[in-house]
Structure formats: C-alpha cells, structure tokens
Amino acid sequence: MIDPSTCPNANELVKSSGFAQALGHFANSAKANYFRSNRSLSEQALTVLGGTPEHVVLLDDKRFLFAAVPSHDRGGDAAVVILNEFGQIQALGFSSFHCDVACEDHRYLDFYVRKDTQDEAVLAALKTWGTSDRIRKALWRSDADEGLDGRTAVHVLP
C-alpha cells in the first residue's frame, strides 16, 4: 500500500497500487446485500469508493478516513474506509438500504473491523461519518433514518 497521506480522496485511494488487494484481504470472502444482492464486501466498497469522493479526513492517531458516494448518487448510499499511517485497513463501513430483490425503505449502517484492531476511536469516527449531515441531507425521504440506532451494526471480522 501507498502512504495514505498522499491520497487526497477515495478515488485516488482506489486507484493506488495494492488497495483492491488489501481490501479483498481485509473483507475476506464476506458477502452482503448493501447495494446489490449477494456481492462481496470488497466489490461493493470499490464500486462506491470509486464514485463521488469527499476529501480525506485526518483522524487522531495518524488514521485517515476516506469516504465516497456512488457516482450516480442514490440518496444516502455511501462507503467509508479507515486506514492507519502505514496504509493498513482498520475499518470499512457502509450506509445503505440493504438491497436484495428490492431495497429496504430505511437506511442501515454496517461497520466492519478486525477483532484484533477493534478500537473505540475508530468506531466513533465511523458513527460520526454515518450520521453526518452530508449523508442525511442526501436522503430521498427524511423518515428513512427513523430508528437508525437500531439498524447500526458492528461486524467483527476474524
């Protein structure tokens, strides 16, 4: 991986040498129905992180938060990845409507961390991102976030 401080946004991160491979390794073979049915986490993340990016955010402890929405903004869908100063993935997150045959009416937040790198600061950064005005203002329906706390999940990867 490259030095994440040299990437201005998620688009550049996705294009960087080794990122797709590192994301695949982080997510392992996990699959979900966030934007499309039964797709790998890495495929879904790469698709969204290659969309319309936000500027990288420097977090405490020399961590970097990269976020983006799909290139065809779908009203609250988004992805985020947090890397440490060495370019190692610390967490992955999704804001989605859980799409299988059809998409749900309410938004979900799903965060992925490794059991050996689970950190309260990283989880707090993910939650702040997922509940930010930037995402909430993009929602097609204002009631899509009612009860969001009950639809926020932290998944621990081996």
- Give the per-residue pLDDT at 130: 96
Please report which confidence band the pLDDT of residue 71 belongs to, taking 50, 70 and 90 as the band edges: confident
Mean pLDDT of 117-121: 82
- pLDDT at site 95: 96
The answer to whether 95 touches 69, Cβ cutoff 8 Å, is no
Predicted confidence at residue 116, as pLDDT, reads 77
Confidence (pLDDT) at 75: 84
Strand partners, 21: none
| Mean pLDDT of the residues in the chain | 92
Provide the token pair at 74.
């779908």
Tokens 């080794």 label which residue?
18
Question: Is the predicted pLDDT of residue 17 greater than 70, yes or no?
Answer: yes
Give me the mean pLDDT over the 47-70 stretch: 93
Angstrom distances, CA of residue 51 to CA of 11, 28, 73, 103, 144: 7, 22, 8, 20, 22
